[in-house]
Amino acid sequence: MVDSDIQGGAPPTTTGPLSINGALTLASGWIIRGLGTDQLSFTDPSGKPIAKFSSDAAAGNQGGAPSTVAVGGSALENNAGDYGNTAVGERALQANVSGQGNTAVGQYALKTSTGTSNTAVGQLALENQAAHSDSTAVGTSALQNADANNNVAVGAAAGNNLTGGTTNTLLGWQAGSNYIGAESYNIVIDNGGGTAAAGESYHIRIGRHINLYDLSLNGLGVPAIYGLDARVGLTAADGAAITLYAVPATANPRFVLAVSLVCQAYTSGTGTYTLTWTDPNGTTHTLTVSLSATGQAWPTVPMLEVAVKPSTNITGQLTGTFVGTFDPHASVKQVA
């Protein structure tokens, strides 16, 4: 044990581990200092803290908190005692004061973050994440400008222009790089987000050509089916049309519509099922099938690819006077 600072000169001789209760100044001007229980700091010749390690004591800045590691100029510079943070790289987690459970590896990674449970690996990854939490960025500039919760980006420049969007999953080089604002709930794989992607949400984009909007798992859960009428055992006509899909204002307007009608235990009368939509010009169209016997029937053209006006409804309705049991079948699928 050496109970004083050591300023250059010949190092002390010891037959066991060297224990210094003070500071060890190296010839180059670097200082190694013990800060108390389970804390150790490194300071450069200018007096600037470069690294600090702490296992359970809480005191001071730049990592002086339980289970905290800071390595690099200004890494965790403003940390005020919260625990479980790891910062490796110049200015990594520099602004963090009270956020917990963050990991930043790379120059400027999570530089402005004050949130919790963020992970950034790569230069500039999540650089501008401020008070938000639970995001993960892996790759240079991944989610560099995002300041929101629950985003995941893996790949260089993935989501680098996104700002306020939440709950996006972006995989691949520059994946989602065309998102520039509050785009949310998108899944993008090896795709910039589309040339007109700004503002879109609830999209799935894979590669250059696959784009699904607002994917629904209703009814049978068939992928890309937005609306589904799978009712069975109807013994009376619908009092009014039911909405199979309310087309959003920003939707891709092209859909594939399909209809059929099944009748069981037929006695008399006719059941008719009608699928109705409005085209972009405001004209109403229908796809209709009727059945007056036990069995199944389809329209002359059972499936159509159509353009539908945004902000309108695609509806289905069983009509007619009959004695029997009918099962209408209709689906609304998007054209990718």
Residues 93 and 26 in one domain: yes
Token pair listed for 225: 């089916």
User: 239 and 167, same structural domain?
Assistant: no
Q: Are residues 242 and 296 in the same domain?
A: yes
According to DSSP, residue 268 is labeled E
> Which pLDDT tens digit goes with each residue over 304-334?
889 999 999 999 999 999 999 999 999 888 7
Q: What is the separation, in whole angstroms, between the first and last Cα of the chain?
A: 72
pLDDT reported for residue 32: 59
**Phi, psi (deg, nearest 5) at residue 298:** -130, 155
Contact between 307 and 247 (Cβ < 8 Å): no
Q: Highest mean pLDDT: which of 20-24, 57-61, 223-227? A: 223-227
Give the pLDDT of residue 4: 45
Least confident of 6-20, 79-93, 153-167, 233-247: 6-20
Is 126 a member of any domain? Answer: no
* Tokens describing residue 28: 């180059």
C-alpha to C-alpha distance for 17 and 160, rounded to whole angstroms: 48
* CATH assignment of the domain containing 273: 2.60.120
Q: Is residue 130 part of a domain?
A: no
- Residue with token string 């401020």: 130
Residues 91 and 169 in one domain: no
248 and 285 in a single domain? The answer is yes
The answer to whether the beta carbons of residues 289 and 296 sit under 8 Å apart is no
- Which of 121, 152, 170 corresponds to the end of one domain? 121
pLDDT for residue 228 = 84
Domains contained in the chain, number:
3
Give pLDDT tens digits for 152-187.
Answer: 999 999 999 999 888 999 999 999 888 988 888 888
Residues 323 and 291 in one domain: yes
Domain boundary among 121, 143, 178: 121
**Are 194 and 260 members of one domain?**
no
Range from 15-29, 35-49, 193-207, 209-223 that averages highest in pLDDT:
193-207
Give every CB contact of residue 323 below 8 A, 6+ residues apart in sequence. Answer: 266, 267, 268, 269
Picking from 157, 187, 213, the residue at the C-terminal end of a domain is 213
Q: Does some domain include residue 128? A: no
* 207 and 300 part of one domain: no
* Residue 218 belongs to some domain of the structure: no
DSSP structure class, residue 167 = S
Q: Both 208 and 234 in a single domain?
A: no
* Domain around 313: 225-334
The answer to whether position 287 is within a domain reads: yes
Distance, CA of 177 to CA of 169 (rounded, Å): 12
Query: What is the mean pLDDT of the segment spanning 134-158?
Result: 95
Same domain membership, residue 273 and residue 192: no
Single-letter amino acid, residue 229 = D
Q: What is the largest CA-CA distance in the chain?
A: 110
- Residue 223, sorted as left (phi over 0), alpha (psi -120 to 50) or beta, turns out to be beta
Q: How far apart are alpha carbons 143 and 140 in whole angstroms?
A: 9
Return the higher-pLDDT residue of 85 and 224. 85
In a domain, 220, yes or no: no
**Is the residue at 294 inside a domain?**
yes
Answer yes or no: do 114 and 139 share one domain: no
The reply to whether 129 falls in a domain is no
Q: Please check whether residues 96 and 22 belong to one and the same domain.
A: yes
